[in-house]
Structure 1
């Protein structure tokens, strides 16, 4: 089990929107948006169910980034 540097506030990650070029905003772990109880489930358990088959083995944390300008969203895999 790794530690996500973004979830733990060690680092910030910046990426540009592929649609309009604006700076995208980090909206947190993608798994937190699955259902009402997903933010309360253990992170490693959610990684096994989140639809990304290699993120658990590769030590990656999927984060949702959204463009405040055009609404484009993108999931970025952050190395733990």
Structure 2
């Protein structure tokens, strides 16, 4: 068994309300996918060491389609 992110693995979706305009934000990729042009191709174990969150969490970007603001949200990984 291992810890996996429910968003990265399409196991669930999250509803996050925009703190600026109260619209529903859309989940984007995990933050480590935005480090550089090649980070999406690296092993998650390598890039997760650089995001400064605990091993049992995955940091995701949520963006607002209305006001175009974004927010980082820490998602609890689940045991599978």
TM tier relative to shorter chain: 0.7 to 0.9
Higher strand proportion (structure 1 or 2): 2
Work out which of the residue numbers 62, 65, 79 in structure 2 matches 1:65. 62
Give 4+ residue runs of structure 1 displaced > 4 Å after superposition.
Answer: none
Task: Indicate the residue corresponding to 2:42 in structure 1.
Answer: 41
Q: Which runs of 5+ in 2 are unaligned?
A: none
Task: Indicate the residue corresponding to 1:2 in structure 2.
Answer: 3
Q: Which runs of 5+ in 1 are unaligned?
A: none
Aligned residues: 76
Higher helix proportion (structure 1 or 2): 1
TM-score (norm 1): 0.88
